[in-house]
Amino acid sequence: MSTVELVPKGEEVDEEVTWEDQQNINAFRNLNDKLESLETKYDDLKREKEYLDDLSTELELADEDELIKYKIGDAFVSLPLDKCQSRIESEQAKLSEHVEAMSSSIADVHDKMAKLKAVLYRKFGKSINLEK
Amino acid sequence: MPPELEANPRGIPKAPFVDNVELFLTDGQVEPTLRKFQEMISKYKYMEVHLLQRQKALETKIPEIKKTLDTVDLLISQKDAEEQMETSFELTETLWASAKVPSTKTVYLWLGANVMLEYPVEEADSLLQEKYEKAKTSLQQVEEDLEFLRDQVTTMEVNTARVYNWDVKQRRTRREGPSS
């Protein structure tokens, strides 16, 4: 998870690490982990949304009388076009909500990380590495 | 003041925090302290492996419950339909078959351990909803525990680094002799 690196001789700092500092370090690491998992989920959600958008475009050109096999659970159900379209619309609405919530969480995490970075670099300078 | 050794809601002990290296080491030497720290780190990492497995299991289970729930909801919406529903289902991998599903008031739920039980559709729906919520809560708890564990590991790693650095400095000062 973490690598141990040697600090070059002239740059050793014997700073005392207070409990508050430790908590800041832990908080930063937490936010970093959270950011990674949020970004993966966000990419997945965006891809799903794209699929649904493509799908609804396709369906606009579909024949009205044709029954469409729509996947529910593990099986496909033959549904009329309008039912399919309304299901897709509600899925899209749910996804959009999800995507928005997620992108605001990501922005929030970025914000907090920037603030913590400032605090930690101010105290520890070169003794700490906060980059990816 | 560093907090006392506590545990989180699921009983994972909190790591001690070394406020001042010199004070911390007065009753012990560097070597055994470092070894003890390493031991604690490995214990935490061991717990982490277990939690990661649980997390994976839950992350597979949750979409499955959702799929079952969606299907039951579909059956509920078809309950009063006159026509049969046309479906295609997977008989085995790469082999699909079609079936006509009449409206039904009951479903069979697979409960695990080779047990299958018949439920009226609405009861099945509420049971599955409950299972879904419970699984989501468990997953949230596991993720909280993982976060807590990683905090403790980071604290211990910082402790180790500081004790080690302090020791290096001490040795260097001792080697260079008293300064004039």
Closest residue to B17, CB basis, from A4, A22, A33? A22
Collapsed DSSP state (helix, strand, coil) of residue B131 = helix
Cα distance between residue A53 and residue A75, in whole Å:
22
Distance CA A102, CA A104 (A): 5
DSSP A46: H
According to the model, what pLDDT value does residue B1 have?
A: 37
pTM: 0.78
Q: Which stretches of chain B sit within 8 Å of chain A by CB?
A: 1-3, 17-20, 67-68, 70-71, 74, 85-90, 96, 147, 150-151, 153-155, 157-158, 161-162, 165-166, 169
**Phi/psi of residue A98, each to 5°?**
-55, -45
Q: Is the ipTM of this complex over 0.90?
A: no
Q: Residue B117: beta bridge partners?
A: B109
Could you read off the pLDDT tens digit of each residue along chain B, which spans 180 residues? 344 456 777 778 888 887 777 777 766 678 888 888 899 999 999 999 999 999 999 999 999 999 999 999 988 888 877 788 889 998 898 899 999 988 888 999 988 889 999 999 999 999 999 999 999 999 999 999 998 898 888 888 888 888 888 888 888 888 887 654
Cα→Cα distances A18→A25, A31, B158, B159, Å: 11, 20, 11, 11
DSSP B7: B
Residue-wise pLDDT for A40-53, tens only, equals 999 999 999 999 99
Contact check, Cβ <8 Å, B88/A1 = no
- Would an 8 Å CB–CB cutoff place A10 in contact with chain B? no
**Whole-angstrom Cα distance, residue B15 to residue B43?**
11
DSSP letter (8 states) at residue B99 = E
